[in-house]
Structure 1
């Protein structure tokens, strides 16, 4: 049983390793990473999301596991703020502890381990992941920044309502949630895509897994950890281990189990997502530490994910 659980990890590790070596020998330069990211996020990801959700009826979706995920994230987010001085730096750490890389690493891994139904469960979470976490984080960041500005007597804070609305809009008008919603709407019509359209989408969707994993390795090779490795490592350990532990404890306490819970447990163990870095850049705080944490969390996931996949089997029944 152990081998059947861990075998799907082999292509994940190999693709990341090949991407890393490709960058290290100079075949892919750092300047190419943004363009490769555009291919993954703007072309391949929407194809997989739309094609997967384009066969799902709304009554088939189960939001209970998603609620469990957000409950665990909210608990860990709150604990991070409670044990820190309320500031934008604490908000950045709290977001890094709870925001997962669900597409570039999560989608290929879930497809290999849990199959098409696992992807449907994952994409149900993905459809709300950025909207819920980034909107909540925006409010915390804005409150913390307003407090800091009030304390230092610097410029007046931005109107929170406008900032929150921007976060909500940007979380929906985005190449990840939009194709999920479009696919769900299409599925409710009962129509079928013509083969001449469905076949190219199938080819593009199949390319997402290897391309995204190669890009992860390439990005790792071009990331410099710097002097903030201790704080970054602490963030990586909490993200990779504390979030799935919190979710698993809640699931056990509530008596929840089944494949969807296993998917959420595994999703919680994904490394820190790149959107956290965008927030630190926007608020001018913790940029180097979060950038290092993303790299360390991704590298650490190669060790922690096998353990999580084994533990996830306890939720399968």
Structure 2
């Protein structure tokens, strides 16, 4: 059973390793990473998301696993703030503890392990992941930044605090009008019409969707090859451990406490163990805190996942019943 459960992890490791190797020998330069990312996020990802959700009826979706995921994420976020202090730096660390790389690593990995039905559950999470977590994080960041600005007001003059309503509005808009949630919502709306995609269009989307997994994993390896950890490795390692081990452990405990099981719970447990998502780095850049540490944490958590995901798969197999 051990090898049958871990078998889907082999192509993930091989693709990431191959991407790392071709970058190290110079076949792919660092300057090409943004262009490759555009292909993955703007072309291949929307194709897979739209085609998959285009055959799903709303009444077939189960939001219980997603609610469990957000419950675990919220608890970990609040616990980090309480233990680390109410600062924007702690908020950035708390966001890194709970925000998963659900697309670039999650989609190919869950697809290999759980198949199309598992992807439907993951896409249900993805459709709400950024909207819920980033909007909530925006509120926290803005409140803490305003608090810090008031405390520093006597020492230096600074710019006016951001308009919270405007910032939250931008977060909501950017979380929906985005190459990940938008095709999910469009696919769901199309599915409710009962129409079918024309054959050539459906086949084109199928080919592009099939290319997403290997392309995304190769890109992960290429990015790792050009990432420099630097002197922030200790803090980054703590974030990686919290994201890859504490977050899934918390979700697992909540699932057992509530008596929840099944494939949907197993998919959420796996999603909770994924590495830190890149959106966290965008937040740190926006608020000017923890940029180097979070950037290093993304790289370390991705490398650490190659060792922790085998354990996660075994536990997920138990949760799936």
User: Do both share a fold (TM > 0.5)?
Assistant: yes
Q: Which piece of structure 1 moves more, 23-32 or 68-77? A: 23-32
- Matching residue of 1:129: 129
Structure-1 residue corresponding to 2:293 = 289
Contiguous gaps of at least 5 residues in structure 1: none
- 1:27-60 CA-to-partner distances (Å, cap 9, x unmatched) read 1111110010000000000000000000000000
Q: Which runs of 5+ in 2 are unaligned?
A: none
DSSP-derived class of the 1:32 partner? helix
| Displacement after TM superposition at 1:155 (Å) | 2.7
Moved runs in structure 1, 4+ residues, more than 4 A?
none
* 1:61-76 equivalent positions in 2, closer than 5 A: 61-76=61-76
**Number of the residue aligned with 2:261:** 257
1:209 matches 2:213: yes
Deviations 1:234-278 (A, max 9, x none): 000000001000100000000000010000000000000000000
Q: Is residue 237 from structure 1 mapped to residue 246 from structure 2 by the alignment?
A: no
Match of 2:313 among 287, 294, 309: 309
CA–CA separation in structure 2 for the residues paired with 1:131 and 1:204:
26
In 2, the alpha carbon distance for the partners of 1:158 and 1:182 equals 32
2:36 aligned residue: 36
Distance in 2 between residues matched to 1:204 and 1:149, nearest whole Å: 47
Cα distance in 2, alignment partners of residues 128 and 4 from structure 1 = 32
What is the SS of the residue equivalent to 1:83? helix
Asked if the contact 1:50–1:183 (Cα under 8 Å) also holds between the matched residues in 2, the reply is: yes
SS in structure 2 opposite 1:230?
helix
Distance 1:46 1:112 in 2: 18
The count of corresponding residues between Structure 1 and Structure 2 is 317
Pair 1:114 & 2:114 matched:
yes
Alignment of 1:194-205 (within 5 A): 194-205=198-209
**How far is 1:156 from its partner?**
2.4
TM-score by length of 1: 0.99
How much is the aligned-residue C-alpha RMSD, in angstroms? 0.6
Mapped partners of 1:196, 1:85: distance in 2: 56
CA distance in 1, matches of 2:159, 2:102: 37
Tell me how far apart the structure 2 counterparts of residues 290 and 84 of structure 1 sit (CA, whole Å): 16
Which sits farther off after the overlay, 150-159 or 10-19? 150-159
State the partner residue of 1:299.
303
| Contact 1:80–1:94 (8 Å) recurs in 2 | yes
Give the structure 1 partner of residue 191 of structure 2. Answer: 187
Distance 2:307 2:120 in 1: 26
Aligned residue in 2 for 1:88: 88
Residue in 1 that maps onto 2:231: 227
| TM-score normalised by length of structure 2 | 0.98
SS of residue in 2 equivalent to 1:270: coil
**Contact 1:65–1:260 (8 Å) recurs in 2:** yes
